[in-house]
Amino acid sequence: MKRNALGRGLDSLISMDDIQTSGSSAINEIPIEQISPNPDQPRRNFDETSLEELATSIRELGIIQPLTLRSAGPDAYQIISGERRYRAAKLAGLETVPAYIRTANDSELTEMALIENIQREDLNAIEIALTFKKLIDQYKLTQDRLSERIGKKRSTIANFLRLLKLPAEVQLGLRDKHIDMGHARALLAVDKPTLQLKLYNETLKKGLSVRQVESLAKQYQQQAENPDAPQQQPPKRLNNKDYEVLKKHLSTSFGVPVKMTCDLSGKGKITFPFKNEEELEKIITIFDKLKE
């Protein structure tokens, strides 16, 4: 009985030069006009600048790594892996491309495209989530079964699928890398889409860290659950002018150019630089006097 290569884990499933499916191991030169992309390709965004750079390289060196195709009829082939190389080859004006010809059904085709892109880290979180959902819906898979098929933990699959519950604007922001996966997961701690969107916009405006979003999400959710409860007032923040005054005061008191840094949460540090041992002793003496 033919062994299903997709039953193995991610690490053992794919060699980037030769996906482990049945078919010829020989490299064929295939006319580019006979090749079509996989309509279920998980990757939706191809950076134009990056494609142009790859096309330039292909013009100079050719395609180093063959594409992997499956037969889609007489003189017709569909891409299993290598759509970016295919697009760049068209830009470069190639008439043929090197390729392996493999045998794969529709389910295997989608899974292999997903797995290869994940291994290459080519997909953004939303593309991965949408492909997980499509595989589950189209092939009637449970999260546990999908976990077995692609070698990912069930919890990982569940976390990606939860991203699809976020408002569309937030999903686009994650896709376009305005926020990362950590920010998105923090937003999910808030139940109401309107509050998720409000916190998302605040995150972009203030450049909040994941930890800051987690803290605010908790406050948003508590306020939503207890609207009559008094809102916690944020601590008073010093402005840049206040920090400059404090820095100047410390520099004068210690006789060295004191440095101060502070993040959006109000946390920071004060640094007392010294040029020699004499300045160090002077700083220590001042600290000792403060303890008296």
pLDDT tens digits along 152-182: 899 999 999 999 999 999 999 998 889 999 9
Given 53, 83, 214, 292, the catalytic residue: 83
Residue 6 contacts residue 111 (beta carbons within 8 Å): yes
CA 43 to chain centre: 13
Residue 118 · residue 39 · CB < 8 Å: no
Checking DSSP bridges between strand 259-262 and strand 268-271, what pairing results, if any? antiparallel
Residue 9 pLDDT exceeds 60: no
Which range, of 69-73, 120-124, 230-234, 236-240, averages the lowest pLDDT? 230-234
Strand partners, 81: 68
The pTM score is: 0.53
* Averaged confidence pLDDT in the chain: 79
Residue 17 has pLDDT above 50, yes or no: no
DSSP at 23: B
Share of the chain above pLDDT 90, in %: 33
Return the C-alpha torsion angle 8, 115, 150, 164, nearest 10.
170
Query: For 27-102, CATH number?
Result: 3.90.1530.30
What is the per-residue pLDDT across 180-208, written as a single tens digit (0 to 9) for each? 999 999 999 999 999 999 999 999 999 99
Residue 18 has what pLDDT? 34
Handedness of CA 138, 142, 145, 146 (dihedral sign): positive
pLDDT at 249: 81
Among this protein's residues, is 225 annotated catalytic?
Answer: no
Neighbours of 171 (CB within 10 A): 19
Question: Mean per-residue pLDDT for 100-105?
Answer: 78
The reply to whether CATH 1.10.10.2830 applies to domain 104-164 is yes
Report the C-alpha gap between 39 and 30 in whole angstroms. Answer: 19
Which pLDDT tens digit goes with each residue over 18-74?
Answer: 333 445 557 889 999 999 987 766 666 777 888 898 899 899 888 988 998 888 888
Length of the chain: 292
